[in-house]
Amino acid sequence: MGLPEVETCCFVFDLKTGNMIMGGVNALGSFILTVIMIVMSAITGQKEKTGNIDIDAPVTGLYVMCILLSLMFLVRFVFDMIFIYGIITEKAPIIKTYFAVWVVIFITSSSIFFLNVEDFNVFIISTELLYLGASVYTIILGRSFYKQLNAREEL
């Protein structure tokens, strides 16, 4: 059993248009989350060190996680833009590569996020969950479009 396949995006758009829209939404989300994580790391990095390792360790860990998340979201933004290009030009290898990269980034960013969820505020948590849901829907759309492209090439 694999991922579900869809025929349209949001019951309105064809798969190509839907993938371009969702790729753009994901790119925008990646960019916004990159900025948020950069701001969070700047705020966390400016907290005064007390000299006590037990007190400073959680702040340092949060700082490192914010930096890692910002780098991952920046990489994700670049790959979202390449994905949009692959959809527009209908290049199946780019779409297939996006799936592999998406799985690695998705698992890594989700793991880091959920390990540090208690340190984030409600806005960041809700934004991240919305972003993860949009990413999953984009992958379902992209996979459906990829299968559609392969079916066209076989004819």
For residues 70 and 34, the answer to whether their CB atoms sit within 8 Å is yes
Sketch the domain layout of the chain as residue ranges.
15-150
Give me the residues of the chain with pLDDT under 70, please: 1, 50, 53-56, 153-155
Token code pair at residue 143? 């996979």
pTM for the whole structure: 0.75
Token code pair at residue 115? 């390990």
What DSSP character marks residue 48? Answer: P
Say how far apart CA 38 and CA 62 lie, in whole Å: 12
Say how far apart CA 131 and CA 29 lie, in whole Å: 6
Say how far apart CA 10 and CA 60 lie, in whole Å: 42
pLDDT by residue (tens digit) across 15-56? Answer: 999 999 988 988 998 899 899 888 888 887 777 776 776 666
Angle between helices 122-154 and 92-115 (to 10 degrees): 160
pLDDT given for residue 101 in this prediction: 80
